[in-house]
Amino acid sequence: MISDNTEYFLPHPTRWPIVGSSALLLMAFGGAAWINDGAAGPYVLAAGVAVLGYVLLGWFGDVIREGREGLYDDQVEASLRWGVGWFLFSEVVVFAALFAALFYVREISVPGLASGETHTLLWPGFKPGWPASGPDIEGAFSAMKGWGIPTLNTFMLLMSGVTVTLAHGALNKGHRGRLVVFLLATILLGLLFLRNQASEYHHAYTALNLTLGTGVYGATFFVLTGLHGVHVAIGTAFLMVMLVRIVRGDFTAKHHVGFLAATWYWHFVGVVWLILFVVVYWL
């Protein structure tokens, strides 16, 4: 919304940070208790997730309300864009650490376990090739192939990057009809991606015997693809909220920092998948 304010907006004191911190604490305690077979662990974790959902809805709701009331001028919106940029940078660091861990496992750890006297004494039959399960992990499994669902998902994410860019261009030109159509197409492609990934996981568990328990390949595969899938789900929900706000008339060609954040996040998800597709499925 257009703002006539000349002073930098400062929000009123809010309870959301302390409530959000409490939610994260509940999730940490619940997760730790669950891992250690604590009976109350799942319930504490679920309570933490519920409180976190309440915080996200309330906090983002306050930000949306402030924007609709015209409290954000250009300087505030510039600060919000910087905040989104730094958030995406933190996400880049997370995925970079996971890709680095995969590189270490493939190029250093697994070859190291198959060499020297330790290998001869403890794991004489262990082979250093990739994909590998690990020493003393029984049961054969099949690695995921790049053709099929992964290639289709790659195409859909690339197309969704095009449609969200076209939606942004339509917003800049004031074409509301095209904006809604292209944004709906992006959301649909995101949902199809998630549906295909769920089908791929079911196939991996039932037909390929590929699970989190099949060693280092299974662990790295599901952690990387699963975390990315969570990001796709979050991005799709983000775009759905933007669609509701667009229908409500919240954005203009000049003031649409929320929609801009959603497009940046979606492009980030697409770029990460391209790297993941090459590194995990093909190399």
Question: Quick one: pLDDT at residue 3?
Answer: 47
- What integer best gives the mean pLDDT of the chain? 86
Distances (CA, A) of 127 to 31, 110, 116, 171: 35, 9, 13, 56
Question: Quick one: pLDDT at residue 121?
Answer: 64
Of the candidates 229, 234, 238, the residue with the CA atom closest to the CA atom of residue 262: 238
Tokens of residue 257, six digits: 């920092």
Mean pLDDT across 158-169:
93
> Per-residue pLDDT for 230 more than 70?
yes
Q: How confident is the model at residue 12 (pLDDT cuts 50, 70, 90)?
A: confident
Mean pLDDT across 110-115:
72
Low-confidence winner among 157-161, 181-185, 206-210, 231-235 (lowest mean pLDDT) = 206-210
Mean pLDDT across 34-50:
90
> Per-residue pLDDT for 274 more than 90?
yes
What sign for the dihedral angle of Cα 127, 129, 133, 138?
Answer: negative
Question: Quick one: pLDDT at residue 123?
Answer: 64
Domains present along the chain, CATH in parentheses:
8-71 (1.10.287.70), 73-282 (1.20.120.80)
Amino acid identity at 108: I
Distance CA 249, CA 233 (A): 24
Long-range contacts of 221-225 (CB under 8 A, 24+ apart): 221/144, 221/280, 223/98, 224/98, 224/99, 224/102, 224/276, 224/280, 225/197, 225/276, 225/280
The residue ranking higher by pLDDT, 68 or 20, is 20
The residue ranking higher by pLDDT, 196 or 217, is 196
The residue ranking higher by pLDDT, 94 or 38, is 94
CB atoms within 10 A of CB 208: 17
Distance CA 128, CA 55 (A): 47
